[in-house]
Amino acid sequence: MQPFEYHSPRSLPEALRLLQELGDGARLIAGGTDLLLRMKQGQLAPRALIDLRRAAELHGISFSPEEGLRIGAAVTLRELQRSPLVRDHCPCLCETASWMASEQVRSLATVGGNLCNASPAADLAPPLMVLDAQAVLVGPQGERRLPVEAFFLGPGQTALDRGELLKEVLVPPTPGNALYLKHAPRAFMDIAVVGVAVHLRMERGLARAVRIALGAVGPTPLRAGPSEALLEGSAPTASLLEEAADLAARACSPIDDLRGSAWYRRRMVRVLTRRALDRLCAASLVGEGT
């Protein structure tokens, strides 16, 4: 690893100022669980690191009925997993976090790092996408908001402009249910071969707010638009769900790599989408009666 300067700003404005000053040779670091690996492997050699963890503005989880959940970018996966607020309002996020990486890594790794690393396999991306979450970006020109799915531009590429960083994620209150299914060879310590997140709610027997997002099967995490359109407002039957799962498998563009081959990934998209839909439809039907 090459030597680098290390900065630890105490506030968001200071972090932004440093980012401005140090320019392209600088790199933001949060937990470092993605970044340091790439530095050690020699893929990255930043001249300076700006550590975001001491900026209070990037911390904390809060809830308001209007805006929903606010999750600071520097919140760790462990905090996310254990937050009572998240458990109450978006249990799917707690669950997703709880089986990412390992206890040790989760104590370091952050929500912001997971998104800004922009891996197509980032586990938080699909659930946040189906929860209709917004990314709050902040830079010299101030704040702007983007839907999480618009945040990813390609492997390792985000919508962050020069001088910008991710401040927080906003998850609107949702009356529906969400579920993320991760397919990986091991229980923990594995990157997803395929990840499928689904959100929906059943209203008088009809599926509403159907959102399906797929991870690790394209250059970015992606939405399965055709499947969503097919199901939106429909009365889900087995054959309709199967068709939606098929459409999802067709909507993705997986590649062959060490973790799985393209054909297998496509198959898993179909299987997991179907299973997630089955489960959510059943759960929502039960929920509807009460």
Partner 1 sequence: MSQEQPTLIGARVPKLDAPLKATGSATYGHDVRLPGMLHGRILYSEYPHARVLRVDTARAQALPGVKCVLTAADAPDTRFGYGRDNVPFKNQVVRSLRDEVAGVVAVDPETAEEALRLIEVEYEPLTPVFSPEEALAEGTPLLHPDRGSNLFQTYHYEHGDPQAGERESDVLLEAEYQLPYVSHACLETSVVVAHFDPHGRLTLWSTTQIPFLLQRDLAEALGMDGSQIRIIQTAIGGAFGRGLDIYPFEPIAALMARKAGRPVRLAFTRAEDSIAAPARQPARVRVRAGARRDGRLTFRDVSAVLDIGPYVSWGAVTPLVMMETTASLYKVPHVRFHTDCVYTNNPVTGAMRGYGNPQSTFFIETMMDRLAEAVGMDPVEFRLLNANEPDTVTPQGLVITSCGLKECLQAVAARADRAAGESAAGWGQGTPVSPARDPFHGAPPSRRRRGIGFAATLNVGGGARIYRSDGCGATVKVDDFGHVTLVTGATEIGQGSETVLAQIVAETLGVSLDDVSVENSDTDVKPWDVGVHASRTTFIAGNAACIAARQARDQIFETAAEMLEVKPEELIARQGKVMVRDDPERSIPISKAVRRRHFRQGGRIVIGEGWYDPPTRLVDKATYKGNISAAYGFGAQMAEVEVDLDTGIVRVLRLVCANDVGRAINPMAVEGQIEGGAQMGLGYALTEELLVQEGRVLNPTFADYRLFTAADMPRIETIIVETDDPGGPFGAKGVGEMGGTPTAAAIANAIYDAVGLRLTTLPMTPERVLAALDTHQPKDGE
Ligand X SMILES: Cc1cc2nc3c(=O)[nH]c(=O)nc-3n(C[C@H](O)[C@H](O)[C@H](O)COP(=O)(O)OP(=O)(O)OC[C@H]3O[C@@H](n4cnc5c(N)ncnc54)[C@H](O)[C@@H]3O)c2cc1C
Minimum CB distance to partner 1 smaller for 166 or for 272: 272
Task: Say if CB 62 and CB 70 are below 8 A apart.
Answer: yes
Q: Is 202 in the site for ligand X (CB under 6 A)?
A: no
Q: Is 163 in the site for ligand X (CB under 6 A)?
A: no
Minimum gap (Å) between residue 193 Cβ and partner 1: 8
How far is CA 67 from each of CA 73, 89, 172, rounded to the nearest angstrom? 16, 12, 6
Minimum CB distance to partner 1 smaller for 17 or for 250: 250
Nearest Cα to 269, choosing from 235, 224, 232? 224
Contact range with partner 1 by CB under 8 A, out of 11-19, 56-64, 160-168, 260-268: 260-268
Q: Is 50 in the site for partner 1 (CB under 8 A)?
A: no
Binding-site string for partner 1 from residue 198 to residue 237, where x marks contact by CB under 8 A and - marks none = ----------------------------------------
Read off the tokens for 196: 């499928």
Binding residue for ligand X, selected from 122, 130, 247, 272, defined by CB under 6 A: 122
Contacts of 67 (CB under 8 A, 6+ apart): 170, 172
DSSP 34: T
Binding residue for partner 1, selected from 14, 57, 95, 243, defined by CB under 8 A: 95
DSSP string, 51-82: E-TT-GGG--EEEETTTEEEEETT-BHHHHHH
Minimum CB distance to ligand X smaller for 72 or for 236: 72
Nearest Cα to 109, choosing from 48, 201, 185, 31? 31
User: How many chain residues are in contact with ligand X, going by CB under 6 A?
Assistant: 31
Binding-site string for ligand X from residue 12 to residue 51, where x marks contact by CB under 6 A and - marks none = ---------------xxxxxxxxx-x--------------
Read off the tokens for 186: 């091991």
Mapping DSSP to helix (H, G, I), strand (E, B) and coil, where does residue 225 land?
helix
- Write out the residues near ligand X by the rule CB under 6 A: 27-35, 37, 52, 73, 77, 100-101, 105, 108-110, 112-114, 116-117, 122-123, 160, 165-166, 189, 191
